[in-house]
Amino acid sequence: MGSEWNSLGTETWDRTLPDLAALPTLECVQHMNQADHAVASAVEAVLPQIAEAVDIIVGRLAQGGHLFYVGAGTSGRLGVLDAVECPPTFNTDPDMVQALIAGGPAAIFRAQEGAEDNRVQGGVDLDAAGARAPDAVVGISASGNTPYVLGALEWAQRAGLKTISVSCNPLPAASQLSDVTIAVNTGPEVLMGSTRLKAGTAQKMVLNMLSTASMIRLGKTYKNLMVDMRPSNQKLRDRAVRIVMLAAEVDRPKAEQLIQEAGGNTKVAIAMVLLHDTADAARNRLAEAGHVLARVGEVPR
């Protein structure tokens, strides 16, 4: 792009800031914190686009599709972080939400900056991962111009997938390849071009919303409780007990008994109380209700 990078807000120099290196440490971090205050407002300005993207993702996942995050560098790692949290939090199949990063898995732990310049590879990686309609692809790029991400979005459009872009500049190049453009205007960083700062924070906030709101719409929660979580360690097993206590309004011994009878399934344990029935009956009613706990009472006996 050459000098075109100069036009990007994320690549400009914030001349209003003092020389951070010349400040006491407390003042340095105060300036960083003050800059971060603007991130939430910038995300708030694009909430309609985020909601539109969520509705698209929900529609695709409800059809048996998958969600692919594609990014490079910090953006790619944020996609990986969001994807890997979905199975333990919402008990999703690991294939439902996947993340691709320029340079492959090795780039998660060791920067491979040159990989993001390969536009063709974005589509190659999506194809190799098995992306097909009715899947959805979210291209994550602070600049909105990362070749690897643009190539992935371009390939996805040709393949009939829904495309969403998340960037931190107005009018990103990715908008030309997106059904929904989420462009969070985060402006210059306290360190010019260090987009792991405000831009990274904004992208994390957006991805939190995309995955969490999508899972809420798919019935993976009940009264703001993670009823579909996997109790795979001591902390999560205790959380599962507390969730059953809250959702079913029972004491701890009763919650523990219900979870045991439900074979460790938090949602089934709650359904047993809602239906006043056995674990097997609750499991069947949940299946008939599409595994949405709020609907079990709507299914005829």
Helix, strand, or coil (residue 192): coil
The 162-167 sheet, strands edge to edge? 97-101, 67-71, 136-140, 162-167, 180-183
The answer on 60 and 197 residing in a single domain is yes
Cα–Cα distance between 276 and 152 in angstroms, integer?
A: 50
Q: Exposed/middle/buried for 36, CB within 10 Å: 0-12, 13-18, 19+? A: middle
The secondary structure element, H or E, covering residue 183 is: strand 180-183
In this structure, what token pair is assigned to residue 106?
A: 């090795």
Pairwise CA distance, residues 152 & 23, whole Å: 43
Q: Are residues 56 and 164 in the same domain?
A: yes
Q: Are residues 203 and 250 in the same domain?
A: no
What is the rounded radius of gyration, in angstroms, for the C-alpha atoms of the chain?
22
Short-list 216, 288, 286, CA closest to 61: 216
Asked if residue 251 and residue 179 are part of one domain, the reply reads no
Same domain as 169, residue 105: yes
Catalytic residue among 116, 249, 261, 298: 116
66 with 195, same domain? yes
Give the active site residue among 52, 85, 256, 261: 85
Domain that holds residue 66: 7-217
Q: Which one, of 286, 293, 287, 289, lies nearest residue 248 by Cα?
A: 293
Domain final position from 162, 185, 217: 217
Q: Are 161 and 61 in contact (CB under 8 A)?
A: no
C-alpha angle with apex 1: 144 to 140, nearest 5 degrees? 15
| Domain identity same for 21 and 105 | yes
pLDDT of residue 4: 66
Q: Kindly state whether residues 115 and 253 are assigned to the same domain.
A: no
Q: Which helix (H) or strand (E) holds 164?
A: strand 162-167
Cβ pair 214, 240 in contact under 8 A: no
Query: 216: which residues sit within 8 A by CB, 6+ positions away?
Result: none
The CATH number assigned to the domain holding 151 equals 3.40.50.10490
- In this structure, the answer to whether residues 204 and 278 fall within a common structural domain is no
* pLDDT at residue 301, as a whole number: 53
Q: Which residues are CB-neighbours of 247 under 8 A, at least 6 positions away?
A: 222, 223, 225, 227, 270
Q: Are residues 109 and 186 in the same domain?
A: yes
116 catalytic per annotation: yes
Instruction: Read off the tokens for 134.
Output: 């009715």
> Same structural domain for residues 153 and 46?
yes
Angle at 298 between CA 292 and CA 301, to 5 degrees: 110
User: 238 and 213, same structural domain?
Assistant: no
Report mean pLDDT in 10-residue bins for the chain, 301 residues. Answer: 68 93 97 96 98 98 97 97 95 96 92 87 97 97 96 97 96 96 96 94 98 96 92 92 96 96 94 95 94 79 53
Check if the beta carbon of residue 288 is closer than 8 Å to that of residue 299.
yes
Q: Is 35 a member of any domain?
A: yes
